[in-house]
Chains A and B, each alone.
Chain A
Amino acid sequence: GENVEQHPSTLSVQEGDSAVIKCTYSDSASNYFPWYKQELGKRPQLIIDIRSNVGEKKDQRIAVTLNKTAKHFSLHITETQPEDSAVYFCAASTAGANSKLTFGKGITLSVRP
């Protein structure tokens, strides 16, 4: 089955700096890659997603890039703010009858004011 790994497991950046979180996946048939943000004590929420027919997607300070050949995708956050501090989960899924969303273990991002 699909295996999704996230690196690093924790990341600390200074406010205003950029943060990059990388995920790798194992199933070359995966075609949907969402990123979820979970603030402390709250539910995970989708912040951005990308499909395999696109190499990059941006939404204000957040962007996601996908490298299908290397089977990895990354979340880029620019001009980080303290409210960006949270756990970020990447996930991958295939299409089809037996597909499921497989999550990575999460990365804790801390933005130092």
Chain B
Amino acid sequence: KAGVTQTPRYLIKTRGQQVTLSCSPISGHRSVSWYQQTPGQGLQFLFEYFSETQRNKGNFPGRFSGRQFSNSRSEMNVSTLELGDSALYLCASSLWSTSGGNEQFFGPGTRLTVL
């Protein structure tokens, strides 16, 4: 099976712009979670989507939003970008929702730089 893919791999934006990141999960996986990774902060949970519904949300401002389509592909949107949004954004898919302690498979990430 093909692994989790994310597009684009790299993005450079300026403050105030918005950005959309895409994640394609492993075929058959219904859950997609998004994480922000920054040096020293580890992996911070943004949100999880399961069967097109947001299951849970982390402690991020409303500028961060997401959605999931019927084919389980997911998109994450960040509006009004700030310098502090520069990070590696990782998505992870699992067969079922994370509530059951299911293994998550990570994508390669999208490196976002905000100038």
Contact = CB atoms under 8 A, between A and B. Distances in A.
Contacts of B106: 36, 43-45
Interface residues of A, number: 27
B84 interface: no
Nearest to A97: B99
A99 B90 contact: no
Contacts of A102: 45
B90 A101 contact: no
A34 B104 CA distance: 10
B103 A104 contact: no
B77 interface: no
Contacts of A44: 43, 90, 106
A99 B48 CA distance: 10
A103 B43 contact: yes
Interface string B42-57: 1111001000000110
Nearest to B88: A43
Interface residues of B, number: 25
Contacts of A97: 55, 99
B98 A100 contact: yes
Interface in B14-44: 33, 35, 40-44
B69 to A, nearest CB: 21
B66 interface: no
Interface in A63-102: 89, 91, 93-102
Interface string B71-115: 000000000000000000010000000111101111111000000
Interface of B: 4, 33, 35, 40-45, 48, 55-56, 58, 90, 98-101, 103-109
